[in-house]
Amino acid sequence: MIILGWIIFGALTGWIASKVVNRRGEGCMVNTALGLVGAVAGGFIFRQLTGFEYEANGFLLSLFVSVIGAVLVLLAYHAIAGRR
């Protein structure tokens, strides 16, 4: 169940980040992957910048940090993949 929760959270995070960056989304699988990678990247960046280790139990803080990370990952994805 925990893995399913992370997949759903990653999909939500990726979808929100896609709407912030390009307003149309990248597709379910790419959104989920970018959301999961963004959650990890956002958590790492947040911890490095603040030195604050937050509990992963706070949904809104986790969502905010994950969306910021996913936006950064999505911007890097667009820079590497380019416009089609």
**What is the DSSP annotation of 35-83?**
HHHHHHHHHHHHHHHH-----TT-HHHHHHHHHHHHHHHHHHHHHHH--
According to the model, what pLDDT value does residue 54 have? 61
Span 3-32, average pLDDT: 76
pLDDT of 22-80, one tens digit each? 766 567 777 777 778 887 888 788 888 887 766 656 778 888 888 888 888 888 887 88
